[in-house]
């Protein structure tokens, strides 16, 4: 297997390749993680490049290394799931409804509180971004904007308007997750149109400074998403069962 450097440099492409390989679980007791020299051959790369790639994956909690013992895949509990790369690798290549459900549970916990904080905030500039997000969603309804991107922009704007730096990290993760969950929720037609109105309710409450209403409206929104994912999960399990 050789890494094709598409766009980025060699180190980067090896990180992506190995990252995906690790999270998809191709290494195990039966097939242990290769030693440096072996990986160099495998990717046709020099030791320096390969070691730097391994170090980056180590920094994300995926790998560990010690002299004489070699390099190994860390237990999954050690992986930094909240690292955008790691989450993307998992969703892209080891898609599972359960992971999507678990991520939606995070959103269900965090986004209503973020909406509440945004409603309490006095940052007019950041709050204006939320309105822009809604405007884009409305435009998307007419086909004048991208539905997914405008949806993401709306949620991102609220997280950023919360004034909480940890929340402000989530848009990247959420955009990744949304790009995958949309594939399913889109199958279930007739929901997205009504959903714009529900989004607007959140926006209106935030603009009015109504903390409780903003929180409740957002909770409703995410709960709806979570239900959709769970429904798709159940349907998926059904399809599995029919085979």
Partner DNA sequence: GGTTGTATATTTATCATATAAATAAGCATT
Partner DNA sequence: AATGCTTATTTATATGATAAATATACAACC
Q: Give residues in contact with its own copies (CB under 8 A).
A: 11, 15, 48, 51-52, 55-60, 76-77, 80-85, 99, 102-103, 105-106, 108-110, 112-114, 117, 164-169
Site string for DNA, 49-88 (x = CB under 7 A): x-xx------------xxxxxxx-----------------
User: Distance between CA atoms of 55 and 80, rounded to whole angstroms?
Assistant: 14
With CB under 5 to 8 Å by kind, the binding choice for 102 among DNA, its own copies, none is: its own copies
User: Distance between CA atoms of 36 and 42, rounded to whole angstroms?
Assistant: 10
User: Distance between CA atoms of 134 and 114, rounded to whole angstroms?
Assistant: 17
Nearest CB to DNA, comparing residues 46 and 186:
46
Residues 6+ apart with CB under 8 A from 124: none
Nearest CB to its own copies, comparing residues 82 and 197:
82
Closest separation between CB of residue 59 and its own copies, Å?
Answer: 4
Task: State residue 34 phi and psi, 5-degree precision.
Answer: -70, 160
- Tokens 């459900």 identify what position? 101
Length of the chain: 243
Closest separation between CB of residue 11 and its own copies, Å?
Answer: 7
Residues 6+ apart with CB under 8 A from 72: 32, 33, 63, 64, 65
Closest separation between CB of residue 119 and its own copies, Å?
Answer: 14
Nearest CB to its own copies, comparing residues 65 and 196:
65
With CB under 5 to 8 Å by kind, the binding choice for 141 among DNA, its own copies, none is: none
CA angle 204, 208, 210 (to 5 degrees): 95
Residues touching DNA: how many (CB under 7 A)?
22
With CB under 5 to 8 Å by kind, the binding choice for 236 among its own copies, DNA, none is: none
Which of 117, 119, 146 has its CA nearest to residue 206? 119
Chosen residue from 48, 96, 105, 186 binding DNA by CB under 7 A: 48
């Amino acid at each position: 297997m050789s890494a094709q450097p598409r766009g980025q440099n060699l180190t980067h492409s090896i990180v992506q390749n190995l990252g995906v390989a690790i999270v998809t679980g191709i290494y195990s007791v039966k097939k242990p993680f290769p030693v440096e020299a072996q990986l160099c051959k495998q990717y046709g790369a020099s030791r320096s490049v390969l070691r730097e790639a391994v170090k980056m994956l180590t920094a994300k909690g995926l790998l560990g290394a010690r002299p004489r013992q070699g390099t190994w895949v860390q237990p999954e509990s050690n992986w930094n799931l909240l690292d955008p790369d790691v989450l993307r690798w998992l969703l892209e290549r080891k898609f599972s409804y359960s992971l999507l459900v678990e991520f939606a549970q995070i959103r269900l916990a965090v986004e209503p509180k973020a909406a509440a904080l945004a409603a309490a905030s006095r940052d007019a500039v950041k709050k204006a971004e939320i309105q822009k997000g809604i405007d884009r969603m409305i435009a998307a309804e007419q086909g004048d904007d991208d539905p997914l991107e405008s949806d993401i922009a709306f949620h991102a704007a609220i997280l950023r308007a919360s004034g909480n730096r940890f929340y402000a990290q989530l848009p990247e993760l959420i955009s990744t997750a949304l790009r995958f969950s949309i594939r399913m929720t889109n199958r279930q037609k007739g929901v997205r149109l009504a959903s714009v109105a529900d989004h607007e309710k959140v926006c209106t409450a935030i603009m009015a400074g109504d903390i409780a209403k903003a929180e409740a409206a957002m909770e409703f929104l995410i709960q709806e998403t979570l239900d959709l994912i769970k429904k798709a999960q159940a349907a998926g399990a059904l399809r599995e069962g029919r085979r």
